[in-house]
Amino acid sequence: MTSALLVEFEGVVVSTQAARREALRRALGDDGIVLGDARLDALCAGLDVASAVRGGAHGAGRTLDETALDLATLRAERYFAEAIGKGVTLAPGARDFLDAAAARTRLGVVTRASRREVEFVLALASLDAHFECIIASGDADPKPSPAPYERALDRLSRRRPVRASEALALEDSVVGARAARAAGVRCVVVGATAAAAGALPVADAAVATLEGETIASLGALVGARSLSATRIP
């Protein structure tokens, strides 16, 4: 039984990897830090903006003081806001999946993105009414801490109790999968890239996209094997 679905906004609901990577590259570049795509992804995938900035600087062998890190984080957020202000694409299959899921279970967002970013895009896509709660960057210790998932379960339980074992998380990275599993929440990682980057076997299962998937099909996939299951072509 899945009594609550908790989803990462970035990579699961919207396709943001390219925009987020470019925003981070520009922000770090303003401090003379240059990293290629593969290195940025390896250092920063799945992290909140502040952690990604810190990780990118450290990975480049640079030490920035707290003021410089804060300024770089603000720049990265501003550059990303500029990008999504020009338009954002929903992840493959996300709309149909969420429309159907909202009719069957309770939904929440548990994300590394800011609340402002999430609310703006969900409203733009007319998906905001689907979600009972949003746990965004700054609402709890960042992933891979289980705190964001624990906060979401607590928020949902104020209306009707939800046990971690009855919830299902959709994540796009090993960082997010670790957070969900640490909170005792079953997890499906969405995206072939995330699975290849090590989200399996941390997650319980993986799918390439949400196209053609349902709450029932993901629940069956998670429960299909004691080891991780996958539908990655």
**pLDDT at residue 225, rounded to an integer:** 46
**pLDDT at residue 42, rounded to an integer:** 86
Residue 231, phi then psi, degrees to nearest 5 = -130, 55
**pLDDT at residue 87, rounded to an integer:** 84
80 in Cβ contact with 139 (< 8 Å): no
**pLDDT at residue 194, rounded to an integer:** 67
* Report field, pTM of the whole predicted structure over 0.85: yes
Please give the Cα distance from 228 to 151 (Å, whole number).
Answer: 26
**pLDDT at residue 63, rounded to an integer:** 87
Partnered with residue 108 across adjacent β-strands are 6, 133
47 in Cβ contact with 175 (< 8 Å): yes
Q: Which of 28, 80, 77 lies closest to 57 in space, CA to CA?
A: 28
Please give the Cα distance from 164 to 2 (Å, whole number).
Answer: 10
Please give the Cα distance from 135 to 68 (Å, whole number).
Answer: 27
Partnered with residue 135 across adjacent β-strands are 110
177 in Cβ contact with 171 (< 8 Å): yes
**pLDDT at residue 110, rounded to an integer:** 98
> Cis (ω within 30 of 0) for the bond into 144?
yes
Q: State CA 97 to chain mean position distance.
A: 16
Partnered with residue 4 across adjacent β-strands are 106, 167
Q: What is the pLDDT along the chain (233 residues), one digit of tens a residue?
A: 789 999 999 999 999 889 999 999 999 999 999 999 889 988 888 899 999 999 999 999 998 999 999 999 999 999 999 998 888 899 999 999 999 999 999 999 999 999 999 999 999 899 999 999 999 999 999 999 999 999 999 999 999 999 999 999 999 999 999 999 999 999 999 987 766 566 777 899 999 999 999 999 999 988 754 445 566 65
**pLDDT at residue 1, rounded to an integer:** 72
Residue 141, phi then psi, degrees to nearest 5 = -55, 140
